[in-house]
Structure 1
């Protein structure tokens, strides 16, 4: 079956602006893609990181672990912009009040 213009299951792209890195992630972040999300962040040197997850449609425990690892790697310098789904998963997992998480 041809899916035509169907969106990709996962994508991550990085934009650097001085010492600030913005990584935009779309689609499903799971066991198969969470490490790619981390590697996309770590590929570019940065002092501040914005992880834009507003286009993420699925977020599992591997994704949670990946975001926690990034928060540990960039203490006080990580901002996560969640989709509604990501906010819900982080809230259920007890991480909904983290300083790095911005309201959806």
Structure 2
């Protein structure tokens, strides 16, 4: 299995970020071909504040499937949408699971 981990920096306007993520970005992600599982959640901010606001995990059968998905029209549209709400930036990690 292969995960694409997307870590969103803390936005200036959290309410606007959440509305766009929920109403626009999640539906785009759910249309990605070859996607096996999609989970996301807000980062708890405590004394170990990471600077991240939200983390998403997209799971695929393989790194090749993830790359194919991101290269698809749906993948390109999803990535292009980041400019509409993630203005403070994102970090993307590609992680091949140890159980693969």
TM-score by length of 1: 0.36
Q: Which structure shows the bigger proportion of residues in helix conformation? A: 2
Higher relative contact order (CA 8 A, sep 6+): 2
Q: Give the TM-score normalised by the residue count of structure 2.
A: 0.37
